[in-house]
């Protein structure tokens, strides 16, 4: 079941009107499986749009259809005003795509890698473009360092600089911060917001809830189907989830008994506490009262994105299940 939220045209980031991405019913099959199943999505100019979902949910396949690397089997739509089915070559020239894996030449320097990418795109005045990218991403002092010697955070910066070398209007970033430290992730997101402030548009896949909360809007996909989209507050509100936190000595032993209680949708450990969630507030309150005990503290809390997405995932139909 998909949670669809009406979009406020004046929503949070006061973005310029118009869909940079506007697709309807986009579908991709591999064999008998619908890896992307009739997805509708619109991303506005200057927006940072988060695209979330578990591994194997279809996020990467969807991005590859948008940037012209795969052709949809069904559906229609545009990317930067260009048809995603018939104008793929033109889309590639105007989009930057950052893959999950580092895909640059490790025996070339940072500067040489950027020059190579600029040459592929036919960027005029390549040296000036490379120099500008080095400065913009804080790579100027490392321009002569071999790419293979870079840490994960610096490889990430090089990959982003390469995506920007031809000045695209849209960046599609596929789990760009996986495997990098918190400082590098923060620096990356500061760069993203700075670029978005200048009018660039982003569609970013991520598994990190703190990153999702940095997006203007987001969508959640599971097993190829879009289950929710909107701002963070809209997605949380539309889920209709009630959550209680319980903490105290021996709280871990409560997890399995609570999962067996009718009306409890999920019980998830968060540090030394449990988050107990369901869709009936009265049932949750009754459970909290019945499991009260010495030193056991129950309190109702606002459900977070992680609570909501775990709930959505558990209710989704696995289209890869055998049988």
> What residues make up the domain containing 269?
242-302
Q: What is the pLDDT of residues 52-62, one digit of tens each?
A: 988 888 999 99
Do 209 and 251 fall into the same domain? Answer: no
pLDDT of residue 58: 93
9 domain residue, yes or no: no
Mean pLDDT, rounded, for 76-82: 96
Indicate if the pLDDT at residue 170 is higher than 80.
yes
Do 298 and 185 fall into the same domain? Answer: no
pLDDT of residue 294: 83
- Which tokens belong to 225? 């189907």
**CATH classification at residue 264:** 3.30.70.100
Indicate if the pLDDT at residue 160 is higher than 60.
yes
Q: How far apart are CA 85 and CA 278, in angstroms?
A: 42
Do 28 and 115 fall into the same domain? Answer: yes
Contact 48, 204 (CB under 8 A): yes
4 domain residue, yes or no: no
317 domain residue, yes or no: no
pLDDT of residue 102: 79
Number of domains in the chain: 2
Indicate if the pLDDT at residue 213 is higher than 90.
yes
Mean pLDDT of the chain: 89
At 234, phi and psi to the nearest 5? Answer: -65, -45
What percentage of residues in the chain have a pLDDT greater than 90?
A: 72
Q: Band of the pLDDT at 18, cuts 50, 70, 90?
A: low
pLDDT of residue 320: 55
229 domain residue, yes or no: yes
Indicate if the pLDDT at residue 79 is higher than 90.
yes
Q: How far apart are CA 255 and CA 272, in angstroms?
A: 12
Burial class (CB in 10 A: 0-12, 13-18, 19+), 284: buried
Mean pLDDT, rounded, for 175-185: 86
At 148, phi and psi to the nearest 5? Answer: -70, -15
Choose among 282, 172, 300: nearest CA to 243.
300
- Which tokens belong to 276? 């107990």
Residue 273 forms beta bridges with which residues? 247, 270
Q: Scan for tokens 């067996």, then name that residue.
A: 260
DSSP 6: P
Q: Provide the 3-class DSSP secondary structure of residue 231.
A: coil
At 139, phi and psi to the nearest 5? Answer: -105, 0
pLDDT of residue 95: 95
What percentage of residues in the chain have a pLDDT greater than 70?
A: 92
The contacts of residue 71 (CB under 8 Å, 6+ apart) are 65, 85, 88
Contact 265, 279 (CB under 8 A): yes
pLDDT of residue 10: 34
Q: Band of the pLDDT at 323, cuts 50, 70, 90?
A: very low
Indicate if the pLDDT at residue 37 is higher than 60.
yes
Q: How far apart are CA 76 and CA 98, in angstroms?
A: 24
153 domain residue, yes or no: yes
Cα 163 to chain centroid distance, Å, stands at 17
Contact 207, 173 (CB under 8 A): no
Q: What is the pLDDT of residues 278-316, one digit of tens each?
A: 999 999 999 999 988 888 899 999 999 988 988 888 777
Choose among 43, 86, 90: nearest CA to 63.
43
Burial class (CB in 10 A: 0-12, 13-18, 19+), 29: middle
Q: How far apart are CA 55 and CA 20, in angstroms?
A: 26
Indicate if the pLDDT at residue 158 is higher than 90.
yes
Contact 276, 267 (CB under 8 A): yes
159 domain residue, yes or no: yes
Q: Band of the pLDDT at 46, cuts 50, 70, 90?
A: very high
Do 196 and 264 fall into the same domain? Answer: no
Do 220 and 104 fall into the same domain? Answer: yes
Do 102 and 249 fall into the same domain? Answer: no
pLDDT of residue 318: 66
Indicate if the pLDDT at residue 194 is higher than 60.
yes
At 299, phi and psi to the nearest 5? Answer: -150, 140
Indicate if the pLDDT at residue 261 is higher than 50.
yes
Do 140 and 277 fall into the same domain? Answer: no
pLDDT of residue 1: 40
Do 89 and 220 fall into the same domain? Answer: yes
pLDDT of residue 319: 55
Mean pLDDT, rounded, for 73-97: 95
- Which tokens belong to 173? 């970033």
Q: Which residue has the higher pLDDT, 311 or 78?
A: 78
Indicate if the pLDDT at residue 154 is higher than 50.
yes
């Amino acid at each position: 079941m998909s949670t669809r939220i009406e979009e406020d045209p004046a929503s949070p980031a006061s973005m310029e009107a118009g869909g940079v991405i506007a697709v309807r019913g986009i579908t991709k099959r591999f064999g008998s499986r619908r890896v992307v199943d009739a997805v509708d999505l619109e991303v506005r100019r200057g927006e940072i749009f988060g695209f979330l979902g578990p591994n194997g949910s279809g996020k990467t396949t969807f991005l590859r259809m948008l940037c012209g690397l795969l052709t949809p089997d069904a559906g229609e739509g545009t990317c930067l005003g260009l048809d995603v089915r018939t104008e793929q070559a033109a889309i590639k020239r105007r989009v930057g795509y950052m893959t999950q894996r580092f895909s640059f030449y490790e025996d070339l320097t940072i500067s040489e890698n950027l020059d190579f990418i600029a040459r592929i795109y036919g960027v005029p005045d390549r040296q000036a473009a490379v120099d500008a990218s080095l400065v913009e991403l804080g790579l100027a002092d490392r321009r002569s360092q071999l790419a293979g010697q870079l840490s994960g955070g610096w490889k990430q910066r090089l990959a982003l600089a390469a995506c920007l070398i031809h000045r695209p209007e849209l960046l599609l970033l596929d789990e760009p911060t996986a495997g990098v430290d918190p400082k590098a992730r923060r620096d990356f997101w500061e760069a993203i917001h700075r670029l978005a402030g200048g009018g660039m548009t982003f569609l970013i896949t991520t598994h990190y809830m703190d990153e999702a909360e940095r997006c203007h809007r987001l969508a959640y996909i599971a097993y190829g189907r879009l289950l929710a989209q909107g701002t963070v507050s809209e997605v949380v509100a539309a889920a209709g989830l009630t959550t209680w936190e319980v903490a105290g000595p021996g709280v871990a032993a409560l997890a399995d008994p609570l999962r067996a209680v009718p009306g409890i949708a999920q019980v998830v450990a968060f540090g030394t506490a449990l988050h107990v969630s369901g869709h009936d507030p009265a049932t949750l309150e009754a459970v909290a009262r019945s499991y009260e005990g010495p030193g056991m503290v129950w309190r109702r809390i606002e459900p977070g994105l992680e609570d909501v997405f775990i709930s959505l995932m558990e209710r989704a139909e696995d289209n890869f299940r055998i049988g």
